[in-house]
Structure 1
Amino acid sequence: MWLPLGLVLLAAEALAVKRHDFKTCDQSGFCKRGRALASRAKEAASTWKSPYSVDPSSVAISAQKSTFTASVLSSLYPEIKFELDVRAHADGTFRVRMDEVDGLRKRYDETSKWALVREPTLSETITWKQTKKEIKAVNTKSGVELKVQFEPLRVALLRNGKEEVVINGKGLLHMEHFRLKDEEPTPPVEGQAQDDSQTVLQPPVNPTAWFEGEQAAVWDETFGGQTDTKPRGPQSLSLDINFPTHGHIYGIPEHATRLDLPTTTGENAKYSDPYRLYNLDVFEYEADSEMALYGAVPLVHAHGVHSTVGVFNAIGSETWVDVGHPSTESTETQWISESGILDVFLLPGPTPEDVFRQYARLTGTPVMPRHFALAYHQCRWNYISSSDVREVQSRFDADDIPFDVLWLDIEYAPNHKYFIWNEKTFPDPVPMFNDVAAYGRKMVVIIDPHLKKDNDYPVYKSASEKGLLVKPSSGQGEYDGWCWPGSSAWVDYFNLASWDWWQGLFKVDGNNGDWHWKDSTTDVFIWNDMNEPSVFNGPEITMPKTNLHFDGWEHRDVHNINGMLFQNATSQAVKYRTDPPQRPFVLSRAFFAGSQRFGAVWTGDNLGTWEHMAIGVPMVLSNGIAGITFSGADVGGFFGNPDIEMLVRWYQVGAFAPFFRAHAHIDTKRREPFLLSEPHKSMVRDIIRLRYSLLPVWYTAFRYSSVSGVPVLRPQYTVFPNDPKGFSLDEQYFIGNSGLLVKPVTAPGVTQTTVYLAEAQPYYDYFTGHIYRGKRSGVEVTVPAALHEIPLLIRGGSIVPTRERPRRSSALMKKDPFTLRIALDAAEEASGDLYLDDGDSYLYEAGELVWRRFNAAKSGKSTFKITSEDLVAINNGQNVVDGAIVPVSGPNAFKESVSAVRVEKIVVYGLKAKPSKITLANGGEVEWDFVAGTSAKSGEGVASALTMRDPAVRITEDWSIEITL
Structure 2
Amino acid sequence: MRSLQLLGVLSLLLVAQESLAFKAHDFKTCSQSGFCRRGRALSARAKEAKSSWKSPYSVDPGSITVASDRATFTAGVKSSLYPDIKFGLELRVHDDGVVRVRMDEVGGIRKRYDEAAGWALIAEPTVSKDIKWTSGKKNIRAVYGEKKENEIVVVFEPLKISLLRNGKEQVVLNGQGLLHMEHFRTKTPEVTHTEEPAAQEGEEVIANSETQVVIKAENPRAWFEGDTEDDWWEETFSSWTDSKPKGPESLSLDISFPNHGTIYGIPQHATRLALPTTTGESPVFSDPYRLYNADVFEYLASSPVSIYGSIPVLHAHSVDSTVGIFDAVASETWIDVGRASEKSTETHWISESGILDLFLMPGPTPEDIFRQYSKLTGTPVLPAHWSLGYHQCRWNYVSSDDVRTVQKRFDQDDIPVDVFWLDIEYSEDHKYMIWDEKTFPDPVEMVNDVAALGRKMVVIVDPHLKRTSNYPVYQEASERGLLVKTKSANDEYEGWCWSGSSSWIDFFNPAAWEWWKGVFKTQKSAKGWSWTQSTEAVHIWNDMNEPSVFNGPEITMPKDNIHHGGWEHRDVHNINGMLFSNLTHQAVAARSDTPKRPFVLTRAFYAGSQRFGAMWTGDNLGTWEHMAVNVKMVLSINIAGMSYAGSDVGGFFGNPEPDMLVRWYQVGAFAPFFRAHAHIDTKRREPFLYDQPYKGMMRDMLRLRYSMLPVWYTAFRETTVTGVPVLRPHYVMFPKDPRGFDIDDQYYVGASGLLVKPITAKDVTETTVYLAEDQVYYDYFNHFAYRGATKGKDITVPAALHQIPLFIRGGSIVPTRERPRRSSTSMKNDPFTLRVALGKAGYARGDLYLDDGETYSHQKGQFVWREFIAEKPMKKGKTIRISSKDLGSAKPNEAVDGVTLKTFNPANEFAKSIGDVRVEKIIVLGITTKPTAVRIEGGEDLIWDYTPGVACSDKKEGIASVLTIKDPKVLITKDWAITIQW
Task: Give the shorter-chain TM-score range.
Answer: over 0.9
Instruction: Indicate if the aligned counterparts of 1:430 and 1:521 stay in contact, CA closer than 8 A.
Output: yes
Within the candidate set 101, 105, 108, 2:110 is matched to 105
Percent identity, aligned pairs only?
64
Name the CA shift for 1:212/1:111 in 2 (closer, same or farther; >3 Å).
closer
Name the CA shift for 1:14/1:780 in 2 (closer, same or farther; >3 Å).
farther
Q: Does 1:857 align with 2:874?
A: no
Instruction: Indicate if the aligned counterparts of 1:70 and 1:85 stay in contact, CA closer than 8 A.
Output: yes
* CA distance in 2: counterparts of 1:904 and 1:375, whole angstroms: 22
Structure 1: gaps (5+ residues): 1-12, 190-202
Residues 190-589 of structure 1 correspond to what in structure 2 (within 5 A)?
216-512=230-526, 514-589=528-603
- Which residue pairs with 1:92 in the alignment? 97
Which AA in structure 2 matches 1:332?
E
* CA distance in 1: counterparts of 2:218 and 2:931, whole angstroms: 81
Name the CA shift for 1:667/1:207 in 2 (closer, same or farther; >3 Å).
farther
Query: How far apart are residue 290 of structure 1 and its match?
Result: 0.5
Query: How far apart are residue 937 of structure 1 and its match?
Result: 2.2
Secondary structure of the 1:306 match is: coil
TM-score scaled to structure 1, two decimals? 0.95
- Which residue pairs with 1:637 in the alignment? 651
Secondary structure of the 1:873 match is: coil
Name the CA shift for 1:543/1:477 in 2 (closer, same or farther; >3 Å).
same
- Which residue pairs with 1:904 in the alignment? 920
* CA distance in 1: counterparts of 2:356 and 2:554, whole angstroms: 26
Residues 43-122 of structure 1 correspond to what in structure 2 (within 5 A)?
43-122=48-127
Instruction: Indicate if the aligned counterparts of 1:188 and 1:205 stay in contact, CA closer than 8 A.
Output: no
Instruction: Indicate if the aligned counterparts of 1:828 and 1:936 stay in contact, CA closer than 8 A.
Output: no
* CA distance in 2: counterparts of 1:865 and 1:136, whole angstroms: 54
Which AA in structure 2 matches 1:86?
L
Query: How far apart are residue 581 of structure 1 and its match?
Result: 1.1
Instruction: Indicate if the aligned counterparts of 1:717 and 1:723 stay in contact, CA closer than 8 A.
Output: yes
Q: Which runs of 4+ in 1 moved over 2 A?
A: 13-16, 203-216, 873-891, 934-938
Residues 702-851 of structure 1 correspond to what in structure 2 (within 5 A)?
702-851=716-865
- Which residue pairs with 2:195 in the alignment? none
Secondary structure of the 1:63 match is: coil
Within the candidate set 949, 952, 958, 1:941 is matched to 958
Q: Does 1:179 align with 2:196?
A: no
Number of residues of Structure 1 aligned to a counterpart in Structure 2: 940
Q: Does 1:146 align with 2:152?
A: yes
Instruction: Indicate if the aligned counterparts of 1:33 and 1:210 stay in contact, CA closer than 8 A.
Output: no
Instruction: Indicate if the aligned counterparts of 1:708 and 1:881 stay in contact, CA closer than 8 A.
Output: no
* CA distance in 2: counterparts of 1:380 and 1:812, whole angstroms: 25
Query: How far apart are residue 206 of structure 1 and its match?
Result: 9.7
Query: How far apart are residue 512 of structure 1 and its match?
Result: 2.0
* CA distance in 2: counterparts of 1:623 and 1:551, whole angstroms: 31
Instruction: Indicate if the aligned counterparts of 2:45 and 2:223 stay in contact, CA closer than 8 A.
Output: no
- Which residue pairs with 2:682 in the alignment? 668
1:65-117 deviation per Cα after TM superposition (whole angstroms, max 9, x unaligned): 11000000110111110000100111010100000001010000000110110
Query: How far apart are residue 861 of structure 1 and its match?
Result: 3.3
* CA distance in 2: counterparts of 1:421 and 1:836, whole angstroms: 37
Within the candidate set 929, 932, 938, 1:922 is matched to 938
* CA distance in 2: counterparts of 1:941 and 1:310, whole angstroms: 42
- Which residue pairs with 2:212 in the alignment? none
Structure 2: gaps (5+ residues): 1-17, 192-200, 204-216
* CA distance in 1: counterparts of 2:190 and 2:775, whole angstroms: 69
1:667-708 deviation per Cα after TM superposition (whole angstroms, max 9, x unaligned): 000000000101100000000000000000000000000111
Query: How far apart are residue 14 of structure 1 and its match?
Result: 9.4
* CA distance in 1: counterparts of 2:133 and 2:911, whole angstroms: 51
Instruction: Indicate if the aligned counterparts of 2:892 and 2:903 stay in contact, CA closer than 8 A.
Output: no
1:400-440 deviation per Cα after TM superposition (whole angstroms, max 9, x unaligned): 00000000000000110001000010000000000000110
Query: How far apart are residue 528 of structure 1 and its match?
Result: 0.1
Query: How far apart are residue 510 of structure 1 and its match?
Result: 2.1
- Which residue pairs with 1:961 in the alignment? 978
* CA distance in 2: counterparts of 1:916 and 1:796, whole angstroms: 23
Instruction: Indicate if the aligned counterparts of 2:139 and 2:156 stay in contact, CA closer than 8 A.
Output: yes
1:532-587 deviation per Cα after TM superposition (whole angstroms, max 9, x unaligned): 00000000000000000001000000000000000000000001001121111000
* CA distance in 2: counterparts of 1:430 and 1:878, whole angstroms: 40
Instruction: Indicate if the aligned counterparts of 1:713 and 1:736 stay in contact, CA closer than 8 A.
Output: yes
Query: How far apart are residue 54 of structure 1 and its match?
Result: 0.4
Q: Does 1:931 align with 2:947?
A: yes
* CA distance in 1: counterparts of 2:245 and 2:682, whole angstroms: 45
Q: Does 1:155 align with 2:161?
A: yes
Name the CA shift for 1:611/1:867 in 2 (closer, same or farther; >3 Å).
same
Within the candidate set 896, 916, 929, 1:913 is matched to 929
Instruction: Indicate if the aligned counterparts of 1:208 and 1:218 stay in contact, CA closer than 8 A.
Output: no
Query: How far apart are residue 597 of structure 1 and its match?
Result: 0.1
1:129-154 deviation per Cα after TM superposition (whole angstroms, max 9, x unaligned): 11011011101524010001101110
- Which residue pairs with 1:169 in the alignment? 175
* CA distance in 2: counterparts of 1:877 and 1:282, whole angstroms: 43
Which AA in structure 1 matches 2:589?
K
Name the CA shift for 1:578/1:361 in 2 (closer, same or farther; >3 Å).
same
1:577-615 deviation per Cα after TM superposition (whole angstroms, max 9, x unaligned): 011211110000000000000000000000000000000
1:845-886 deviation per Cα after TM superposition (whole angstroms, max 9, x unaligned): 111000011000112430110000111233478649999988
Query: How far apart are residue 936 of structure 1 and its match?
Result: 6.5
- Which residue pairs with 1:199 in the alignment? none
Name the CA shift for 1:659/1:876 in 2 (closer, same or farther; >3 Å).
closer
Name the CA shift for 1:887/1:589 in 2 (closer, same or farther; >3 Å).
farther
Instruction: Indicate if the aligned counterparts of 1:208 and 1:215 stay in contact, CA closer than 8 A.
Output: no
Instruction: Indicate if the aligned counterparts of 1:877 and 1:888 stay in contact, CA closer than 8 A.
Output: no
* CA distance in 2: counterparts of 1:148 and 1:877, whole angstroms: 37
TM-score scaled to structure 2, two decimals? 0.94
Name the CA shift for 1:214/1:125 in 2 (closer, same or farther; >3 Å).
closer
* CA distance in 2: counterparts of 1:783 and 1:439, whole angstroms: 40
Query: How far apart are residue 214 of structure 1 and its match?
Result: 7.2
Instruction: Indicate if the aligned counterparts of 1:879 and 1:886 stay in contact, CA closer than 8 A.
Output: no
Secondary structure of the 2:252 match is: strand
* CA distance in 1: counterparts of 2:255 and 2:95, whole angstroms: 23
- Which residue pairs with 1:22 in the alignment? 27
Cα RMSD for the two superposed structures: 2.1
- Which residue pairs with 1:124 in the alignment? 129
Instruction: Indicate if the aligned counterparts of 1:91 and 1:120 stay in contact, CA closer than 8 A.
Output: no
Secondary structure of the 1:90 match is: coil
Query: How far apart are residue 924 of structure 1 and its match?
Result: 1.6
Within the candidate set 139, 143, 146, 1:134 is matched to 139
Secondary structure of the 1:58 match is: strand
